[in-house]
């Protein structure tokens, strides 16, 4: 296997019988993941027989968000992801019956097949990850979407670059009813996204690029920008044809 952390791995499978294992290919230097964390990771899943790719987040630009609370993630993913430092690349070889990820069994993979999975662990975060002393994001009482975006709190961390992978807590609401239709809290904790058009809701790229990690940003999306869109962008709700307001906390940028 070749390729550096953050790039799509080049996986060449040997002949012979696969041996189930979890191996750290390169060690990161970030926070070590713990049981109960939300882990944001790029991942590629291949079948040992035929080397077929079942999942590849490197090309889609949408990292996997895995809640390690013993429920959504498979047992083998726990062994591969818990106790690993952010920035690590981990190889997992596992029977498919134990290696189905949060999205369930890949189409075309039977429970007796062997999966080869490579994780690039972007970070592990507590479900209520936040800046010290701050509450999780909510719609401020005085919020008015008269402008496309407004910085509610200035962060002091690194600036977010175009195309960066970001980890955020967020809440989204219809306007003017202020009815919440989606939030990271409802989904179990912070989510990871690639900051590029189509991978996040309309308005996010322009509003979050150049902001510092630790910032809280309100983003107004006019109804015209949501017409014709699918129900989600990067997994985040986008009710088509509605004026929307998001409040986003930038937890990390990678």
How many other CB atoms sit within 10 Å of the CB of residue 64? 21
Handedness of CA 27, 94, 36, 125 (dihedral sign): positive
Model confidence over 97-110: pLDDT tens digits? 887 776 666 667 77
* One domain, residues 201 and 244: yes
- Helix then strand then coil, % of the chain, to nearest 5: 10, 40, 50
The Cα 176–Cα 190 span in angstroms is: 26
CA 27, chain centre distance (Å): 20
Closest listed residue to residue 37, CA positions, set 115, 118, 127:
127
pLDDT at 227: 80
Residue 60: the pLDDT is 82
Last residue in a domain, options 91, 125, 159 = 125
Number of domains in the chain: 2
Same domain, yes or no, for 44 and 103? yes
* pTM, to two decimals: 0.89
Whether the bond between 176 and the residue before it is cis, its omega within 30 degrees of 0, is yes
Regions of the chain with pLDDT less than 70? 70-73, 102-107, 229-234
Q: Which domain holds residue 196?
A: 149-253
């Amino acid at each position: 296997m070749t390729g550096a952390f953050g790039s799509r791995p080049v996986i060449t499978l040997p002949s012979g019988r696969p041996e189930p294992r979890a191996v750290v290919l390169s060690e990161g230097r970030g926070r070590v993941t713990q049981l109960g964390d939300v882990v944001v990771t790029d991942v590629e899943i291949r079948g040992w027989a035929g080397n077929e790719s079942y999942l590849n987040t490197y090309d889609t630009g949408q990292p996997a968000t895995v809640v390690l609370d013993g429920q959504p993630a498979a047992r083998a993913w726990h062994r591969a992801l818990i106790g690993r430092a952010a920035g690590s690349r981990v190889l997992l070889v596992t029977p498919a019956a134990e290696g189905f990820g949060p999205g369930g069994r890949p189409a075309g993979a039977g429970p007796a097949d062997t999966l080869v999975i490579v994780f690039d662990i972007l970070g592990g975060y507590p479900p209520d990850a936040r800046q010290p002393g701050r509450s999780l994001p909510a719609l401020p009482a005085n919020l008015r979407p008269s402008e496309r975006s407004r910085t509610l709190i200035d962060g002091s961390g690194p600036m977010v670059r175009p195309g960066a992978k970001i980890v955020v807590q967020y809440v989204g609401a219809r306007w003017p009813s202020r009815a919440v239709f989606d939030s990271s809290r409802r989904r179990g904790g912070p989510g990871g996204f690639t900051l590029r058009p189509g991978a996040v809701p309309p308005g996010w790229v322009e509003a979050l690029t150049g902001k510092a990690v630790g910032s809280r940003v309100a983003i107004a999306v006019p109804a015209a920008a949501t017409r014709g869109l699918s129900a989600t962008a990067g997994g985040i709700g986008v009710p088509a044809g509605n004026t929307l307001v998001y409040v986003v906390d930038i937890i990390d940028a990678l």
